[in-house]
Structure 1
Amino acid sequence: MNDRHMKNGRGIRHRSKGSNISYLPEFHGVSQRDRKYLLPTPTSHLLTLLCFLVALSVTIIVLEKKLPTPLLLKDAHNHPGQFIAERAMYNLIKLTGLGPRPTGSYENEVLAVKFFVKEISEIMQNAQKVHRIIMDIQKPSGAFPLTFLDGMTNVYRNVQNVVVKIGPHSDTGHSLLINCHFDTVSDSPGGSDDGASCAIMLEILKVISQTVTPLKHNIILLFNGAEENLMQASHGFITQHEWAKEVRSFINLEACGAGGKEILFQAGPNHPWIMETYSAVVPYPYASSLAQEIFQSGIIPGDTDFRIFRDFGNISGLDFAWSTNGYVYHTKFDNVEQIPLGTLQRTGDNILALALGMANGKELSNVQMYSAGNIVFFDFLGAYVFRWSEFLSLLINLSLVMLSVYSVVKNMRAGISSGLKREVYLKQLGLSCGVVLLTWIFTPLISLMIAFALTVLDRTMSWYSQPAWIFFLYICPTLLVPMATVWIASQRQKAVVRSVWSLFQIYYDSYQLVWTGILIFCTLMKVRSGFIAVLWTVFPSVGSLLRSTLFSHWRDWKWLVLHGSILILPFAQCIYLIFGAMNLYIPIMGRVGAGNNPEVIVAVITSLMFLLLFSFLTPLILLVRNPQRILSVLIGLFLAAMGVLILTPLGFPYSGDPAAPSPQRFMMAHTQRVYHDEYGRVRERQTGYWIVDMDQNSPGSVKSLVREMQYARPVDSDCSQELYCGLPYLMPVLTFIWKTHWIPGPAPNIPVPTTLDLISTQYHDGLVRRMTFSITGPDHIGVMISPYSGVTLIGWSLVPGDPLQGPKWNGRDTYFIYYSCASDPKPWVFWIDLKGNSGVNQSIDIAVTSHFIHGQHQRNDQFSQFLAEFPQWTSLTAWTATYSSWKF
């Protein structure tokens, strides 16, 4: 440094126009005079800021769980036209009281339909005369390709829909569709998925029917009876019902959890007026284009009727789902006790307001006029929805990129004015950016190492029932590693940049530049969740400009308050998003399949989220007189947690508490497997229990408690020898759930035999061979087909066009057909066309599975005794199944 900057070893303050660091000492801690410019101790100002941010996070969590006060039946007289949560709950209790309702069961096809007809009829009888209400029962049959999971062709017969239309007597021919489903998976009462949505729709119908003002357009309420059968009933409605032609938009109500808030996680495509209406009318918004992009990426294993209305009806709409308490999703615990009245009130208020807003809006009569453009949207802490068009998003992003670059250049000029050469400053800025990027690579790797260590020690998924473990195992290291890396790197940089305040500003600008780069990427790739990068670009940029212009004289705690104030809004919003995401993905880890390591998934996701969150907190370590103390506290918290986790049982992942369950899931089928050779003779027959491992700890977690589990062997060689591993997959999830176990056991009772008959074989056009099959069996059947090498499946009678392929098997194409018959069974006849190798006797492997997922034949006594051995902290989905394969 030039001698003119030194006097008796003291730092001299240099003021220069436009400098945001001119008031700062050039040397860190070299005299008592300069000590007032530093944070006094690591346990005062910095820890105060960190404690404040923790308190802010806790406050956001508490507010995020807050629900509106529910209205009771006694309040109905004083609240005309409002949603009454208690009345909806009574309907939900009646519906779930019917028991599990799989498609094809008596409970679903008879009792549930009777329930809806009775409730809707009563509403129709008591409705105001200004409304025209029509009810219809539909029983469609059809087929369609579905690119979900491994991909399948979905065939259905006689599934049921209860459909109601309410509107003015002068029918406008334009309708809003609201959809729920009343069927359930096997063994679940379906309280949240999706009985509560249907109860909410009944209450909405009742409230609207009692209003004295007619609707401008119709509202069609679709209570569909086959969603868990992979969206069959909604396809039957939107492609076959006469009212489907007048649907202009839709609202789909779903659940992947119970209670809490309903999140708007899909909107569109296009038609920004729908989001505009949502933003304008709902009292409790909760929406994010981030959630939409995550869901549509396929990371979350699920789908909804939204896909059917969008893809087969060419309609735009909104998709809502409860995501809190996903532990009970598709389990016996999904009952009314898991659903607070406040949740029904909140969702009911929102959907009622939204339905009226859309049905009475001008857009519904001419949706094409308002169809252009997608929209970026997110709610701010549940209070207000920000939304803007993609074009406006482009303008905003480009403006913020320029603002960010301007603030960094301004800081660079200030650094140059204080004595650093331009090339030195740019080099240090580049090095700091490199350090930042290094921490963004290194930190997830450290979390990955922790996850692998816990896997080796057999201490995985401690956070599953106790999410607080995530703080100690992964959040503390995510704060520790970047701070330690930046501090170590700064020790070398101090030889050039003598002022730690200047070094802090360089690192601050480095994080800002990295976020600016992310914003540029999101802009170029049209990533609508780039609004997060917007937040972390605009506030730090504005903060830099404020510090350099209006608050350049602030010192110590005032400076820290300013820094914290700059961060508080993006920090609060991101914490809000992060905890919403954690509420979703932590329970999902209980059903990702044993082939995936949930500890690794949680470690990486958590590390990345909090690494981004801590961006502008990390450089504060440079301003602490004793940074080792801060780092030691974080190390101590992590090591203490690891010690407790390893040495005590406090990290046990599961809980069977009925009030707050977090069970370990098991899917199992009492199975008969029969393989035929090329002559049609049985070459092998097996019976036993097929265990589908839903998480990494299966089946080892119960081996000491369930005697038969000691004989479980992994299914491995079967997968190369037999199509779909020779196992009765109910759905095509082989690439998702491939790690399973087999236990030899007694033969199941098969009340309805499954048969496959080749009715005829015809040749046409030379090499094309048409094979016609007939299949009989129970109401749920799967068919897997794999042509031999040199043979191609070019068509079939199921759906027009090229058959949808599944994953390869031994280098050969595969095809999965899912078939269900809700009532009136008869033989299922279809043909396939094969091309090639006409001189070879065998052309295809074909396997047929049957599934008894409901009724008295779902389980026999031996199977029930086996299931009774499982502990209360498990949740079992169990049925009887068969698998038979042939060569033709």
Structure 2
Amino acid sequence: MDRVVEEIASVPEVAQNQDDKVHHIFIRQFNSNNYLKQFILWIVLFICLILIAGPLALHISSVLPTVKARNIPLHLFSEERARDYFSNLTLYGSRVSNTRGDFYTRRFLITQIERICSISKRHLKFEFDLQNFTDLQHNQLQNIIVRLSNLTTKSKNVSSLLLTAHYDSVEFSPGGSDDGSGIVILLELLSNLVNDLTLTFSDVHLIILFTSAEEINSQGAKEFITNHIWRSNIRYFINIDAASCNEKASLNRIIPSQLIVDYSRVLRPRANVITEYIHKWFKWMSDYDAFIVNNSLLGYEFGFLLDGYIYHTSLDHPSMIKQGVLQDLGENLGILIRHILLGNINLQVTRNIIDKDPFIYFDILSRYLIVYRMSTSIIIQLILIILVLVIGITLILFDHIWHRKRTLTCINFHCIYLHFKYPLIIRIISIIIYFISNIFSVSVGLLFAIIVALIMATFQPLSWFGNATLAIFLFSLPCLIENGLKIHLDSIVPLRSNI
């Protein structure tokens, strides 16, 4: 009789164990569904954020100034006046070195420089020079150079500021952007500076250089920096180049990085230290590289980089240049140039101090420029790393102590306190696994982006230069895949922490 009662009594216990297993399976399935719901929710939130914040930030950062009319005072930059030069600059098509287009362009530039200098009512000293040189094919070429100084200045050791752009183009291309944009901006700036009564050119002289044969390994710039007599007193240079003028121009490169402090004074700064490394990685060359070789000069390079479709093609016509981009760069350069000519910047920066402690810089919506030193960046990163470690360890310890004081009645299937004898060690191992899964997911996302970029480069090279949607597809989609993979890895790791 007792045996029968025992067997009857054991039946509910077996049933209870089965119910517990079913309960655990249900909880596990419920948690998996929660992960899926969380993943979908994060995707929806991310898309909403892009749809709301993306266009707003793009609009703020890309808004262009109003184009100034031709009839404004001559000391102010006018895009309409600058565009007037295009009609003759591109009249004969491409400006390949030692061709008819090159000869007529040279004559046109000389005429315009003489006109600008002649209408000035100020007593300034204008020195004009044509630097003759031969290229590798023994063609006779010329750099066009003009120097402005004060008639009362007798010293020969006055520092100079060099403004430069190249007037040649590649074959079959009218060179509206590359580098017609730089030419017309410099012509208008020359007119502005000559007619600005606040500038005396006594403390700092101004040299404007139009180089030839830039498209042939920057031979004109190399000739000037090697052999011209005016080169010795140049303190800083500003080079203007372009791929396409469809967006705002930005500061592409700078040497030394300390000069970024002076650029931060402009109205609409647009710069990011990353572009410095992009030029190094892709080995994009221009006259800038000729000027800085062998520690020759210090200075800036500004340019238009977006929309690679028209770069070095017959589509590079002045009509393709977006309204307002010349006004934007012209006004910014005008402010920077005036600061240099008025001696409001440190002209004693030398190559001896270059990049001992380089600057990190980036703009916020093309309105504010954030600048700080590399040493400051390292300190900030160390503080953040220490804070993350300290806060993380503290939270784990407090959470561990709190769980140990509780009665172990956790209903979560992943609760480590019901399954392991040393839960703290298990939690540390789970954190390591979580960290490895993050690295793995980031690597997969980056690999996916590279594969997509390579595929697109095969069919439509540089297509993301002119299409923001493709850029979002390239860089945002891998982030979504990365987050999804990370969430999936977290869901299959049973050692997950409860904090």
- Same fold per TM (> 0.5)? yes
The answer to whether structure 1 residue 114 and structure 2 residue 119 are counterparts is no
**Residue 306 of structure 2: aligned partner:** 324
Give distance in 1, aligned partners of 2:176 and 2:287.
Answer: 18
Render the CA deviation track for 1:256-287: whole Å, top value 9, x for unaligned: 2223111212111x361x2111112x111111
- Deviation of 1:443 after TM superposition, in Å, equals 3.1
Give distance in 2, aligned partners of 1:46 and 1:459.
Answer: 29
Gap change, CA 1:39 and 1:383, over 3 Å in 2: farther
The answer to whether structure 1 residue 208 and structure 2 residue 193 are counterparts is yes
- Deviation of 1:487 after TM superposition, in Å, equals 2.9
Give distance in 1, aligned partners of 2:117 and 2:454.
Answer: 60
The answer to whether structure 1 residue 485 and structure 2 residue 485 are counterparts is yes
- Deviation of 1:394 after TM superposition, in Å, equals 3.1
**Partner residue of 2:290 out of 299, 303, 308:** 308
- Deviation of 1:208 after TM superposition, in Å, equals 0.7
Give distance in 1, aligned partners of 2:336 and 2:303.
Answer: 15
Tell me, yes or no, if the aligned pair for 1:234 and 1:309 is still in contact at 8 Å.
yes
Structure 1 residues 193-202 or 394-403, which shifts more?
A: 394-403
**Residue 377 of structure 1: aligned partner:** 361
Specify which structure has the higher proportion of strand: 1
Give distance in 2, aligned partners of 1:497 and 1:436.
Answer: 14
Tell me, yes or no, if the aligned pair for 1:238 and 1:313 is still in contact at 8 Å.
no
**Residue 441 of structure 2: aligned partner:** 439
Give distance in 1, aligned partners of 2:433 and 2:183.
Answer: 58
**Residue 232 of structure 2: aligned partner:** 245
Give distance in 1, aligned partners of 2:192 and 2:166.
Answer: 20
Give distance in 2, aligned partners of 1:125 and 1:406.
Answer: 70
- Deviation of 1:94 after TM superposition, in Å, equals 1.9
Q: Which amino acid aligns with 1:197?
A: G
**Residue 61 of structure 1: aligned partner:** 58
The answer to whether structure 1 residue 89 and structure 2 residue 47 are counterparts is no
Render the CA deviation track for 1:790-825: whole Å, top value 9, x for unaligned: xxxxxxxxxxxxxxxxxxxxxxxxxxxxxxxxxxxx
Q: Please, what is the CA RMSD of the aligned residues?
A: 3.3
Give distance in 2, aligned partners of 1:426 and 1:352.
Answer: 58
Gap change, CA 1:251 and 1:51, over 3 Å in 2: same
**Which TM-score applies when normalising by structure 1?**
0.46
Specify which structure has the higher proportion of helix: 2
Give distance in 2, aligned partners of 1:394 and 1:483.
Answer: 28
Tell me, yes or no, if the aligned pair for 2:262 and 2:345 is still in contact at 8 Å.
no
Tell me, yes or no, if the aligned pair for 2:168 and 2:212 is still in contact at 8 Å.
yes
Q: Which amino acid aligns with 1:201?
A: L
Gap change, CA 1:106 and 1:248, over 3 Å in 2: same
Render the CA deviation track for 1:311-366: whole Å, top value 9, x for unaligned: 15611111111012221111111111111230110010011111111222255653
**Residue 359 of structure 1: aligned partner:** 341
- Deviation of 1:447 after TM superposition, in Å, equals 5.3
**Residue 389 of structure 2: aligned partner:** 405
- Deviation of 1:226 after TM superposition, in Å, equals 1.5
**Residue 258 of structure 1: aligned partner:** 245
Q: Secondary structure of the equivalent of 2:94? A: coil
Give distance in 1, aligned partners of 2:249 and 2:456.
Answer: 34
The answer to whether structure 1 residue 224 and structure 2 residue 211 are counterparts is yes
Q: Secondary structure of the equivalent of 1:468? A: helix
Tell me, yes or no, if the aligned pair for 1:309 and 1:315 is still in contact at 8 Å.
yes
Give distance in 2, aligned partners of 1:488 and 1:321.
Answer: 44
Give distance in 2, aligned partners of 1:390 and 1:448.
Answer: 29
- Deviation of 1:441 after TM superposition, in Å, equals 2.5
Render the CA deviation track for 1:482-526: whole Å, top value 9, x for unaligned: 333233323333x44475xx3xxxxxxxxxxxxxxxxxxxxxxxx
Give distance in 2, aligned partners of 1:276 and 1:126.
Answer: 35
Q: Secondary structure of the equivalent of 1:189? A: coil
- Deviation of 1:416 after TM superposition, in Å, equals 2.4
- Deviation of 1:247 after TM superposition, in Å, equals 0.6
Tell me, yes or no, if the aligned pair for 1:28 and 1:498 is still in contact at 8 Å.
no
Tell me, yes or no, if the aligned pair for 1:249 and 1:364 is still in contact at 8 Å.
no
Render the CA deviation track for 1:742-796: whole Å, top value 9, x for unaligned: xxxxxxxxxxxxxxxxxxxxxxxxxxxxxxxxxxxxxxxxxxxxxxxxxxxxxxx
- Deviation of 1:407 after TM superposition, in Å, equals 3.0
Q: Which amino acid aligns with 1:181?
A: H
- Deviation of 1:106 after TM superposition, in Å, equals 2.1
Give distance in 1, aligned partners of 2:101 and 2:453.
Answer: 44
- Deviation of 1:234 after TM superposition, in Å, equals 0.8
Give distance in 1, aligned partners of 2:42 and 2:375.
Answer: 43
**Residue 185 of structure 1: aligned partner:** 170
- Deviation of 1:451 after TM superposition, in Å, equals 7.4
**Residue 345 of structure 1: aligned partner:** 327
Q: Which amino acid aligns with 2:340?
A: M
Q: Which amino acid aligns with 2:490?
A: S
* Equivalence map 1:833-852=2 (5 Å): none
Give distance in 2, aligned partners of 1:155 and 1:390.
Answer: 45
Q: Which amino acid aligns with 2:108?
A: F
- Deviation of 1:446 after TM superposition, in Å, equals 4.7
**Which TM-score applies when normalising by structure 2?**
0.80
Render the CA deviation track for 1:75-129: whole Å, top value 9, x for unaligned: x04xx63211100000122211232110111221x21121111111111112242
Give distance in 2, aligned partners of 1:57 and 1:432.
Answer: 31
Unaligned runs of 5+ in 1: 1-8, 10-26, 32-36, 143-153, 503-888
**Partner residue of 2:132 out of 139, 142, 159:** 139
Q: Secondary structure of the equivalent of 1:59? A: helix
Gap change, CA 1:403 and 1:168, over 3 Å in 2: farther
Give distance in 2, aligned partners of 1:446 and 1:217.
Answer: 52
Q: Which amino acid aligns with 2:278?
A: I
Q: State, as a whole percentage, how many aligned pairs show the same letter.
A: 22
* Equivalence map 1:510-659=2 (5 Å): none
> How many residues in Structure 1 have an aligned counterpart in Structure 2?
446
Tell me, yes or no, if the aligned pair for 1:271 and 1:316 is still in contact at 8 Å.
no
Gap change, CA 1:46 and 1:28, over 3 Å in 2: farther
Gap change, CA 1:30 and 1:186, over 3 Å in 2: closer
* Equivalence map 1:710-721=2 (5 Å): none
Q: Secondary structure of the equivalent of 1:139? A: strand
Tell me, yes or no, if the aligned pair for 1:161 and 1:224 is still in contact at 8 Å.
yes
* Equivalence map 1:792-871=2 (5 Å): none
**Partner residue of 1:127 out of 114, 117, 120:** 120
Gap change, CA 1:48 and 1:201, over 3 Å in 2: same
Give distance in 1, aligned partners of 2:492 and 2:252.
Answer: 47
- Deviation of 1:434 after TM superposition, in Å, equals 1.0
Tell me, yes or no, if the aligned pair for 1:259 and 1:322 is still in contact at 8 Å.
yes
Give distance in 1, aligned partners of 2:386 and 2:41.
Answer: 37
Give distance in 1, aligned partners of 2:183 and 2:189.
Answer: 10
Q: Which amino acid aligns with 2:86?
A: L
Give distance in 2, aligned partners of 1:167 and 1:444.
Answer: 54
- Deviation of 1:134 after TM superposition, in Å, equals 1.8
Render the CA deviation track for 1:814-873: whole Å, top value 9, x for unaligned: xxxxxxxxxxxxxxxxxxxxxxxxxxxxxxxxxxxxxxxxxxxxxxxxxxxxxxxxxxxx
Tell me, yes or no, if the aligned pair for 1:462 and 1:469 is still in contact at 8 Å.
no
**Residue 180 of structure 2: aligned partner:** 195
Give distance in 1, aligned partners of 2:60 and 2:461.
Answer: 27
Tell me, yes or no, if the aligned pair for 1:86 and 1:341 is still in contact at 8 Å.
no
- Deviation of 1:56 after TM superposition, in Å, equals 1.1
Tell me, yes or no, if the aligned pair for 2:75 and 2:191 is still in contact at 8 Å.
no
Q: Which amino acid aligns with 1:98?
A: Y
- Deviation of 1:240 after TM superposition, in Å, equals 1.0
Give distance in 2, aligned partners of 1:422 and 1:60.
Answer: 45
Q: Secondary structure of the equivalent of 1:326? A: coil
Give distance in 2, aligned partners of 1:39 and 1:449.
Answer: 27
**Residue 425 of structure 1: aligned partner:** 427
Tell me, yes or no, if the aligned pair for 2:163 and 2:237 is still in contact at 8 Å.
yes
Q: Secondary structure of the equivalent of 1:387? A: strand
Give distance in 2, aligned partners of 1:328 and 1:384.
Answer: 30
* Equivalence map 1:682-701=2 (5 Å): none
